[in-house]
Every structure is written in C-alpha cells, then in structure tokens.
Amino acid sequence: MNLSNYASHYLVRLRRHGPINPYAVAFILTEMKFRGPFFRFCEFWYSLLWILTKRCDPKVTLGRCQVSFSYWRRYFGPDNVALFLGVLNDVTNYEICCLYLSENKTEGIDQMIIRYNGKPSKLYVQTYFENLKLVAAHFADWEENRVPPLAPPPAGGPAPAAGRADRSAKTARGRPPPALLAGRSEALPMIFVVPHGAPEGYEWLVALVTLVCLYFAVRNFMRARR
C-alpha cells in the first residue's frame, strides 16, 4: 500500500473517533518514512525488555508517532500491557501525538517542526509539508462530499488536539518556511534518509547496539532466575 492509500485509510479510521488534527497526521506519516518498521521493532522490544529487567522506564521514542516514552506512560499509567498494545494501534499513536502537540505549543508551524523533531533535515521538512498537503487534499475531497473532517478552531494558539481547516489548506498550498528550507535543491533525490539528519548507516548501528543490549538483558534475566 502506497503512502496516499495508507493516508486515506488512516484518515477514515481517525474520522470515526472524532475531529482530526492534520498536523499530527502529517507528523506520523513523516516519521514513518524516516524511521522504518525495523527501527520501530527494535525500539519496541528494547523498551519492553528494559522495563522487565530494569523496572524503570527507558528514555526512547515509541510507535509510528515517535513520541517520547514519558508521554506514553502518562497516557496509560502503570498498565504496561495496555501501553505496548497501544504502540501497535494507529489511533492510539495519533492520540499520543496530539497529546504531545497540546503540551508543547509553539508560535508557528516551523517552530512546531523543530520542537517535534529536534534537528529536522531539509528532506524531513520537505516530506512533512508534502504529507500535510496530502492530508489537506483528503480534507478537500471530504468537503466536496460534505463530510466534516475537522474540529472547530481552538480559542488561541496553534491547533494541538483539533485541526484548523483554513490554516492546513493555506500551508499545504504554500512553500515550507524559508528559514527551514534555505538553499534546498529542487532536484533533491527522494531516497531513504536516517532520522534527524544522522550519517548514513546510523539505523543499522542502532539496530546492532539494540541487539547486543537485548542479548545481555536476556542473559542477565536468565541468570537472575537461576
């Protein structure tokens, strides 16, 4: 399933649960491109084994939304089973993303991207705006069919838990902020890029370190049971 079809099915699922925040959906689609299934798989099992062996929360990001573990813990409380099942749920990932955006409000969309990603690369910003445009296109289709996809605008500040139809459409039609895309080449190749502008091979290095940590964690766990 390509990104457009996935986004369409994803938005239909989210619409059943209420108003949709387009910024949160665009972040999830972007993080899915920059952190693939293998990377998220390693994060999932690393976090699970860390909790089982260390009896404390790991300092990692989880899920397709790639939000810090502390927000997942705050959402689910001490229920570890519900937490890790929620990591596998698309709707829960969206709700966690909305929780993060609601607690980390910024003045503009450029600052929101920096706040969410930390050190976004030019390709990350470009991909985010492409995904935001994709979401806005689906909203436009719904509008033509008289299906209200968005919540009313909040009292003030950028939309954290509820989207703004006018702002999302305007942003999608425009270009990304010059401060973030200064010097961007129009011929930038669309290749797989590791997260946060890290050097090539970073994902495999993290995977190798994760597997080594898993080995020692399991070994220590088995020794403790003897």
The larger pLDDT score, comparing residue 132 to residue 203, is at 132
Distance CA 153, CA 160 (A): 10
Q: What is the pLDDT of residue 181?
A: 45
Residue 172 has pLDDT above 80, yes or no: no
The larger pLDDT score, comparing residue 18 to residue 79, is at 79
* Residue 1 pLDDT grade (very low, low, confident, very high; cuts 50, 70, 90): low
Residue-averaged pLDDT of the chain? 76
Q: What is the pLDDT of residue 73?
A: 94
Q: What is the pLDDT of residue 76?
A: 95
Token pair for 148 = 């209200």
Residue 174 has pLDDT above 50, yes or no: no
Q: What is the pLDDT of residue 200?
A: 54
The larger pLDDT score, comparing residue 119 to residue 128, is at 128
Q: What is the pLDDT of residue 67?
A: 94
Q: What is the pLDDT of residue 199?
A: 52
Q: What is the pLDDT of residue 180?
A: 46
Radius of gyration over every alpha carbon of the chain, rounded to an integer in angstroms: 19
| Contact between residue 132 and residue 172 where contact means Cβ atoms under 8 Å apart | yes
Residue 35 has pLDDT above 90, yes or no: no
Q: What is the pLDDT of residue 204?
A: 64
∠68-149-110 over CA atoms, to 5°? 45
Q: How many CB atoms lie within 10 A of CB 48?
A: 17
Least confident of 13-22, 45-54, 160-169: 160-169
Q: What is the pLDDT of residue 217?
A: 77
Residue 169 has pLDDT above 50, yes or no: no
Least confident of 73-77, 122-126, 141-145, 151-155: 151-155
Q: What is the largest CA-CA distance in the chain?
A: 65
